[in-house]
Amino acid sequence: MPTFVYMTRCDGCGQCVDICPSDIMHIDKTLRRAYNIEPNMCWECYSCVKACPHHAIDVRGYADFAPLGHSVRVHRDEEKGTIAWRIKFRNGKKDMELLAPITTKPWGTGFPDLSAAAAPGGDMVKGENLYNEPKYVAMNDNALATLESNGLEIKEGVYY
């Protein structure tokens, strides 16, 4: 079930607008609070639910892990490096909490040094792992298709 926003808790900070991979969390033009502009396109990745500093975004979970009418809420505590879930059934009696690490290293310390890694060889391109790469990526010609190479440009901002 797609995300929805509790308007009284949202302060319009834009964290969800920034993080939504489908670009469907936007700011309402009248109330300047976040809302899901296209619920059909939401695939419940929970990115906005976890990123919201006020827990103003909620999602109703599917019936395959709890009977409908339940509440599933999450708190992602980055400073502790944990993610906590609470699933409460509609009868109010079954109330479960889960806690797990989201990272085992402090933030910003785990970036791989890609410049130090060896460049991929020609045999890797022809290997079985990349056999199904789409042709438009043009890996075999050693020329990656880009916006520039196709004479395109990207406009800044969100237009709707």
Interface residue list for other proteins (CB under 8 A) = 8-9, 11-15, 17-19, 26-32, 51, 53-55, 71, 73-76, 78-82, 84-86, 88, 92, 97-101, 103-108, 156-158
Shortest distance (Å) from residue 26 CB to other proteins: 7
Shortest distance (Å) from residue 125 CB to other proteins: 31
Neighbours of 31 (CB within 10 A): 11
CA dist 57 and 95 (Å) reads: 20
Structure tokens belonging to residue 91: 């009868």
CA dist 47 and 68 (Å) reads: 22
Choose between 32 and 126: whose C-beta lies nearer to other proteins.
32
Q: What are phi and psi of 136, to 5 degrees?
A: -65, -15
Choose between 81 and 139: whose C-beta lies nearer to other proteins.
81
Residues 6 or more apart in contact with residue 35 via CB below 8 angstroms: 4, 5, 25, 26, 27, 28
CA distances from 50 to 80, 151, 158 (A): 14, 38, 22
Supply the residues annotated as catalytic: 43
Shortest distance (Å) from residue 3 CB to other proteins: 16
Shortest distance (Å) from residue 12 CB to other proteins: 5
Choose between 135 and 155: whose C-beta lies nearer to other proteins.
155
**Best CA proximity match to 21, nearest among 1, 4, 38:** 38
Choose between 19 and 145: whose C-beta lies nearer to other proteins.
19
